[in-house]
């Protein structure tokens, strides 16, 4: 869930700019996701600009955003709660961007909008004001705002500050990296970003082109999870993390709000449902999920797809239910 501060390319139009969740689409109605811009890392190498330190770094997230949720989930799985602090924005997203209000506060600077942090990091910044943000308290700047890269930073950068059990958990192990990268790529194209391609299509042509690959990918995952507990190497990896935050939003949000309604996770994908519950029931994971926040974020912010802001009652499958 992002907004654009500028037109990302000459071939891209920002349709209905008064609606904060109206994503950039091309002239044929195909959704186009722009790139993120802050791409630094945290390293213990001598002379590194950003060195690993306990308490130095801070995450800004939205509980509604699946991309930001990845980073919060990795923080929990690695036991980094005492190492990296977190603030969450409010669920409502409008033309002003992500905001801190109604009990959701910026504990570092008491800013009112995420965009203020971007301008604090770079007064001349031109681009999108997105979450997640990995922030450096010491130099008061953004380290990285690309969720995929933040996940990998959290996977290894702070191993010296956590328990041996947590530091030994490697969600991007060397022997599986090629396969993880491959799975990440098609899951991103067809599911993570695929639901947005479907949901933000502004032409029937775009919708009809993107809906089949989405369900082909879900069918593929269902088949994999019929044989193994996890997507790669039968072990929990970042491939699962990246897919999971989209899957748990599928029934309560994407099925209805984004018109991804050929099948549902609860009724049609028993193996995916079992896998979703398996991860949800890991220590610390349930605390990263706020389904009320998630639903309000989509249904009340995206007034183009849901002009009356009515939020459906259902929360999708009960992920706390015993795995059978």
Mean pLDDT of 136-151: 98
Which helix (H) or strand (E) element contains residue 223? Answer: helix 204-225
pLDDT at 61 over 80: yes
Q: CA torsion sign, 314 to 317 to 319 to 320?
A: positive
Mean pLDDT score across all residues of the chain = 92
Give pLDDT, residue 23: 60
**What per-residue string of b and e applies to 62-96 under the rule 16 or more CB within 10 Å gives b?**
bbbbbbbbbbbbbbbbbbbeebbbbbbbbbbbeee
In tens, the pLDDT along 230-242 reads 999 999 999 999 9
* Residues 263-301: tens digit of each pLDDT: 999 999 999 999 999 999 999 999 999 999 999 999 999
Report the distance separating Cα 170 and Cα 159, nearest Å.
10
Return the pLDDT at 8.
Answer: 29
pLDDT of residue 36: 66
Give catalytic residues, as residue numbers.
65, 196
> Which residue, among 91, 132, 116, 118, has the nearest Cα to 295 in the 3D structure?
91
pLDDT band at 30 (very low <50, low <70, confident <90, very high): confident
Residue range 16-28, pLDDT digits in tens: 333 444 467 777 7
Going by pLDDT thresholds of 50, 70 and 90, the confidence category of residue 322 is: very high
SS (H, E, C) 152-178: HHHHHCCHHHCCHHHHCCCCCCHHHHH
User: What's the maximum distance between 2 C-alpha atoms anywhere in the chain?
Assistant: 55
Task: Please check the confidence at residue 256 and state whether its pLDDT lies above 80.
Answer: yes
* Residue 29 confidence (pLDDT): 72
For residue 201, pLDDT beyond 50: yes
Radius of gyration of the chain (CA): 19
């Amino acid at each position: 869930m992002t907004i654009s501060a500028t037109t990302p390319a000459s071939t891209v139009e920002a349709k209905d700019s008064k609606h904060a969740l109206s994503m950039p689409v091309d002239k044929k109605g195909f959704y186009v996701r722009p790139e993120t811009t802050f791409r630094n890392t945290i390293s213990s190498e001598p002379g590194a600009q950003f060195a690993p330190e306990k308490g130095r770094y801070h995450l800004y997230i939205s509980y509604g955003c699946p991309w930001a949720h990845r980073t919060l989930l990795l923080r929990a799985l690695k036991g980094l709660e005492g190492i990296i602090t977190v603030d969450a924005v409010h669920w409502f997203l409008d033309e002003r961007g992500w905001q801190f209000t109604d009990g959701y506060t910026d504990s570092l600077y008491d800013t009112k909008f995420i965009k203020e942090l971007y301008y604090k990091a770079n007064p001349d910044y031109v681009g999108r004001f997105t979450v997640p943000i990995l922030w450096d308290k010491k130099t008061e700047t953004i380290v990285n705002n690309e969720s995929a890269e933040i996940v990998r930073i959290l996977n290894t950068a702070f191993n010296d500050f956590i328990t041996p059990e947590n530091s030994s958990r490697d969600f991007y192990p060397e022997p599986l990296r090629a396969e993880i990268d491959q799975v990440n790529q098609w899951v991103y194209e067809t599911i993570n970003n695929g639901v947005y391609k479907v949901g933000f299509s502004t032409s029937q042509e775009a919708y009809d082109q993107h809906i089949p690959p989405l369900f082909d990918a879900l069918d593929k995952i269902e088949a994999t999870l019929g044989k193994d507990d996890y997507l790669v190497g039968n072990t929990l990896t970042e491939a699962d993390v990246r897919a999971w935050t989209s899957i748990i939003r599928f029934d309560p949000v994407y099925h209805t709000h984004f018109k991804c309604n050929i099948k549902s996770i609860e009724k049609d994908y028993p193996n995916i449902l079992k896998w979703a519950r398996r991860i949800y029931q890991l220590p610390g994971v349930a605390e990263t999920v706020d389904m009320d926040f998630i639903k309000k974020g989509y249904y009340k912010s995206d007034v183009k797809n849901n002009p009356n802001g009515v939020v459906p009652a259902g929360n999708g499958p009960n992920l706390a239910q015993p795995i059978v």
